[in-house]
Structure 1
């Protein structure tokens, strides 16, 4: 066994190895020392290797995701090694044969898909940065949703782009890692950097890999990608395939974010404005925390993406604002929509898990519920005049009635987490399965009847028939009743095992019945798993259409949430154009205003004092002076935040705003500023 472990560890040297042994994942040698310290679990020993004790620790399989989460948050990579056959199969090859094991995936900070390891309202991006022909290219993917994007960059914009994405993991070449001129850009991301050989960033191979992935002969339909973007995209897909052992998730065709398509906000300004987290790294007190009224996980992620990347195209901004205004103007429609959105599960992530063969019956149910709700939402929203954005969303819902009906007929109301647990196919869906299930359940009722029979035969009221994975079914009585148990050569009870407080027996009749139960249960589970695979195949065959519907639900959620915010907080619709105007009347700092309203005990609590800011072509500069703590930073950032809100497509805290599109934003922070407090 240890020889097998060492071979697998040699092939997976970069992470901790979770080595499956029955109901535990075990770690050995240096991995055990590291994991025991990181997880605060007991470090033990198991045998010797080259004369030295072998360090060992382990975590139970049923709770391993909690331990994985803690390790990933500390920056570790974990290779998960599973048993690929059961011990009985191994014994057929010889008494000393070792159960076959294989690494089924390598979990890294950027390749998470499980809900238990992710924040429902936060994207988890895996990013790759490459350089070719003197320019840079960035590719990023959220594996839990399949969203893939690429962007050309100049060297000076690398830091700003990484700050915008806040990726869980960044792939760079070993050659790039050694460049001193990029040290400042990479400094905040040292814990997220994963260095790969430069050969993985070959642009020609990247182009071919992307073409093969999306089954096209050219990527021209997706965008005019640069060599650097192709290098980054190819390296990213290569890494995903490597860590997932060839099992790729559903990945949408790449979208290209052209240079200048979003407002450029450098890392320092982004941090100072506290867009998605405060200077202390907390979500509470950030701009995102006070505007987020989304009701779905996908909507929350989309809102965070919008706030991180305000647009610079006035037409697209106004299209988003039109959607918000529709819900702002119609309270009843907004309330009805909210009622449906509250019931929408995370379809995107459920779909990703199913395509990775990592899902379960509950993921199928999530997709069924979400798709069924699109029909209700369409009925709720259909009217004579709808903004283009809402019309597009309703079109993107598609028609999924047949799939919804199939999943509704197939699945039980209460579902297990894993398909291997069985018990999820509804009665009446598959007659052949119903027949086997009935036989299995009838056999279990016979066990109960047999127990009553043996209680009478032995005259022992606390006699029980129990089951475990080692002995199967057995009869158990307490140690003090064992003396009166009729277990002689002529009796039906056959001794099997003596425990400290109990003695176990069997009978020929019980053994025969156990064989029938095991056979019926095994056959029933096998058919149930076949049915599950068929349902997954039917669902993933419509992956692109389902993903489109999920995206539409997220867009509607964001628009409705921003409309509710605008009504609650008295925000106005900004007027966005391509002029040089910057005219804000009665502007208010959204975070400070909310903090004052929620905590009347704050010093100076009360209504926020609104103020104006007026810049235009003939008056492009204001010089603001005053003593420390006079509010200069508050005013400066107030106007910056209004700009961000306006260009992400939100109403803003002001009486009126007329704004020419801002392409770049800078802001300082006062030495003692903590504006939310």
Structure 2
């Protein structure tokens, strides 16, 4: 069957992008056909229509308006699609010059994927959007990652076993994998919210990769950036290769690659990140995470920097102390910090504006973002000059200036609030280009001339409703009603007014004079737009020439923002500067969980109960074995100490009265559990896998928190596993650890292992109920209070009563021996739901009786004093 030229062009383009939806530009719409249309219509919830036939069947079709395409793109990307954007490379008029039936030339200008987004509306301003690549060469491997929206480019060596933890740390949107390794690594899709993309081995070839890197950065040798291993070069080259494919050769403005090392940051695995809710809550959103509580930054760059610091706490003591010094300056200098934060509110996202300009996806507003950001940076530098700044902030101040020429250029050239698109014009300031002013004057005066001409035609014809209008088809025309048109169609007016079009209610005319004026006005308007477009390119080039220094200024602004934000947090939330050193100390006084504390304040105003923790050990292990009932706060206590250590090592103040943290190399958490149905693993299996990872990897600088190890299996199995785990932590890992358990038998280990101490979360029991005090003290819990907690949860009274009977029999049997226990259990009557015993009447204490008789308004001071003595005496009984 014959295929139309347009459809032949579509099918040819589509063949090059089989794995993506093709957005085929047709006028003001992006159209999709065949299976693309069916899939897109369902994903976007838009109408599916048809257009023509192919092989005898209707061709499905759907489309989205070009002006609203970004919103649809975001939906498709989030649903796992990739989109090839196909644009018209010429106008229909230009196509006709090649022949009457010539199809407008089209080509794909960009492949939109999760890791290559740059548009402001498609990105979270406060998060990086990383594209990563993993490469293996012989027995070595590396990971490279880039954020093309900011230009950051990083690479690090790592082993296969560290790939998962690093993916958890960076949270890239897309990971590139060699095709021969794709099946081996497909499991990453189920473990992380990430899109996997397989590339041919040629993209990862280290020899070709080296050439690509040298070409991109215009260098003769990669040695200019440092020494890189073969896997590192391969991973970086794969990233660049993919960008060449997706951006159709228009590469983003990337900074020189930075080599990272595992030894410079605290190692945190995926399970620990999830359990501690560092950047995402267990519910999946940002709210309720540590990041949400700590984020008081005012700029997008500052927000991204905070997320990066929380995800990658430092192990470099000099870096940590430098950040502490800067925050301490902010705490002590509240007035300058307030002034700085006032200025930072006006700082736009320089990094992403710069990236969009480099990829030709920017507009006049990106030019003004650069101008405004650099202007604010210069004013900030002036404010800081008189102050005695710490080294970190002094270095940042030095990167804020040096853009005066560019600022003056942009200030003179641009209006205050330009339009979104360069093609709309009107963004170059009056007086900047004399030729542009002349064209604008002609264009604008032409409008007033049109108005005067309309008045002349009204006077000449005597038709007061006559109007001169304009549309894209007819240009300027004279319009009148059908009633008055007869007069203009008759002599003598018909000699001057030339009929052009008749509609249902109107008749349209033109004149030779109006046509000539239209030509002048249109030429002036088009000429003005073309001049503004050329000037936009000139200004863009001037900015890109200064791109490296602008990126440094952006980084300095982010550093200032984060420092001031953490200082503000420390002052308002009463956080303290911790002592961080190279010792094995871990001593926290009055520690608090920042997320729980904030939640309590918001919900009920209840104060958080602060607790101490001391795991200091000059040599060997230091482990607290924590017992106590559920709901008493064991898990919160475990998490808060891990979080305080992490916060300290990002260089921040911490939520405590005092803290002394010896550098932590690894942070491990096994708190809470759920099954992993996708990989066929039970809750207990997940728990054992995570525990195995800790025991196999933790070194003597690790901080480990373990909660209820072994609870997912039979009692004695679980107890034996928990017991052996604690011994391994003590004898082999020799780590600092908090180990919470319900197995009270384990408290005996405190007398056998030098590095183990018992601690418990205290409760009060009153009239058969428990009151949680949330206080941690040395010693062991005498019981678990599980039945009382079950009662608080709302279990039926009959169930609670039955549980008490069974518990009493079990405890009695345990005291009298195993055989006796079995006899007692066998002799228990069967459960009866209907015969629930009446609750015991509550006793009224002597104190309550006295308090109930008090009439405060009638008490004399002497009687009040006597009453206090009576109450004290009654309390003793």
Give the C-alpha shift of residue 623 in structure 1.
Answer: 1.3
CA distance in 1, matches of 2:478, 2:570: 68
2:377 alignment partner, SS class: helix
2:142 alignment partner, SS class: strand
Deviation sequence 1:535-569 (CA, Å, 0-9, x none)? 11111110001011001000110000000000010
Contact 2:189 2:195 in 1 (8 A): no
Contact 1:133 1:227 in 2 (8 A): no
Q: Relative to structure 2, which stretch is displaced further, 630-639 or 459-468?
A: 459-468
Give the C-alpha shift of residue 599 in structure 1.
Answer: 1.6
CA distance in 2, matches of 1:232, 1:456: 77
Contact 2:82 2:112 in 1 (8 A): yes
Task: Return the structure number with greater relative CO, CA threshold 8 A, min gap 6.
Answer: 1
2:644 alignment partner, SS class: helix
Answer with 1 or 2: which has the greater Rg: 2
Contact 2:296 2:566 in 1 (8 A): yes
TM-score (norm 1): 0.95
Contact 2:588 2:613 in 1 (8 A): yes
CA distance in 2, matches of 1:332, 1:384: 12
Equivalent in 454, 460, 464 of residue 461 of structure 1: 464
CA distance in 2, matches of 1:335, 1:106: 44
2:62 alignment partner, SS class: strand
Indicate the RMSD between aligned Cα atoms, in angstroms.
1.8
Deviation sequence 1:102-160 (CA, Å, 0-9, x none)? 11111111111111111111111111111112122111111110000011111111100
Is the aligned partner of 1:277 residue 2:317?
A: no
1:613 maps to what in 2?
613
CA distance in 2, matches of 1:408, 1:665: 50
2:623 alignment partner, SS class: coil
Contact 2:412 2:432 in 1 (8 A): yes
Give the C-alpha shift of residue 188 in structure 1.
Answer: 2.1
2:380 alignment partner, SS class: helix
Contact 2:275 2:669 in 1 (8 A): yes
1:524 maps to what in 2?
528
* Change beyond 3 A, Cα 1:201–1:461: same
Contact 2:154 2:260 in 1 (8 A): yes
Is the aligned partner of 1:65 residue 2:70?
A: yes
* Change beyond 3 A, Cα 1:219–1:47: same
Equivalent in 245, 267, 270 of residue 270 of structure 2: 267
2:627 maps to what in 1?
625
Contact 1:172 1:194 in 2 (8 A): yes
Is the aligned partner of 1:105 residue 2:99?
A: no
1:330 maps to what in 2?
333
Deviation sequence 1:337-375 (CA, Å, 0-9, x none)? 001100001111111111111111111101001111112
Contact 2:175 2:194 in 1 (8 A): no
Unaligned runs of 5+ in 2: 1-5, 675-706, 708-877
1:260 alignment partner, SS class: helix
Equivalent in 164, 176, 179 of residue 174 of structure 1: 179
* Change beyond 3 A, Cα 1:518–1:622: same
* Change beyond 3 A, Cα 1:250–1:621: same
1:624 alignment partner, SS class: strand
1:642 maps to what in 2?
644
Contact 1:16 1:76 in 2 (8 A): yes
Equivalent in 16, 19, 25 of residue 21 of structure 2: 16
Is the aligned partner of 1:198 residue 2:163?
A: no
CA distance in 2, matches of 1:119, 1:379: 31
Is the aligned partner of 1:318 residue 2:325?
A: no
CA distance in 2, matches of 1:261, 1:416: 45
Give the C-alpha shift of residue 224 in structure 1.
Answer: 2.6
CA distance in 2, matches of 1:267, 1:628: 25
* Change beyond 3 A, Cα 1:201–1:190: farther
CA distance in 2, matches of 1:651, 1:462: 74
Contact 1:158 1:185 in 2 (8 A): no
* Change beyond 3 A, Cα 1:186–1:16: closer
Contact 1:574 1:656 in 2 (8 A): yes
Is the aligned partner of 1:594 residue 2:598?
A: yes
Deviation sequence 1:72-117 (CA, Å, 0-9, x none)? 1112111111111111111111111111111111111111111111
1:451 maps to what in 2?
454
Q: Relative to structure 2, which stretch is displaced further, 528-537 or 587-596?
A: 528-537
Give the C-alpha shift of residue 470 in structure 1.
Answer: 2.1
Contact 1:487 1:493 in 2 (8 A): no
* Change beyond 3 A, Cα 1:310–1:23: same
Contact 1:138 1:232 in 2 (8 A): yes
Kindly report which structure 2 residues correspond to 1:338-349, keeping only aligned pairs within 5 A, or say none.
Answer: 338-349=341-352
* Change beyond 3 A, Cα 1:384–1:39: closer
* Change beyond 3 A, Cα 1:187–1:298: same
Unaligned runs of 5+ in 1: none
CA distance in 1, matches of 2:265, 2:490: 82
* Change beyond 3 A, Cα 1:394–1:492: same
1:670 maps to what in 2?
672
CA distance in 2, matches of 1:634, 1:478: 79
1:539 alignment partner, SS class: helix
2:9 alignment partner, SS class: helix
Contact 1:398 1:545 in 2 (8 A): no
Give the C-alpha shift of residue 638 in structure 1.
Answer: 0.4
TM-score (norm 2): 0.74
CA distance in 2, matches of 1:132, 1:280: 38
Is the aligned partner of 1:499 residue 2:499?
A: no
Is the aligned partner of 1:490 residue 2:494?
A: yes
Give the C-alpha shift of residue 199 in structure 1.
Answer: 1.9
* Change beyond 3 A, Cα 1:478–1:306: farther
Give the C-alpha shift of residue 669 in structure 1.
Answer: 2.7
* Change beyond 3 A, Cα 1:458–1:172: farther
1:242 maps to what in 2?
245
Kindly report which structure 2 residues correspond to 1:137-156, keeping only aligned pairs within 5 A, or say none.
Answer: 137-156=142-161
Deviation sequence 1:387-439 (CA, Å, 0-9, x none)? 11111101112311111011010011231101111111111111121112211
Contact 1:487 1:494 in 2 (8 A): no
1:217 maps to what in 2?
220
2:424 maps to what in 1?
421
Equivalent in 90, 95, 107 of residue 100 of structure 2: 95
Is the aligned partner of 1:572 residue 2:593?
A: no
Contact 2:168 2:192 in 1 (8 A): no
Kindly report which structure 2 residues correspond to 1:373-384, keeping only aligned pairs within 5 A, or say none.
Answer: 373-383=376-386
CA distance in 2, matches of 1:347, 1:630: 48
2:474 maps to what in 1?
471
CA distance in 2, matches of 1:497, 1:39: 41
* Change beyond 3 A, Cα 1:172–1:634: same
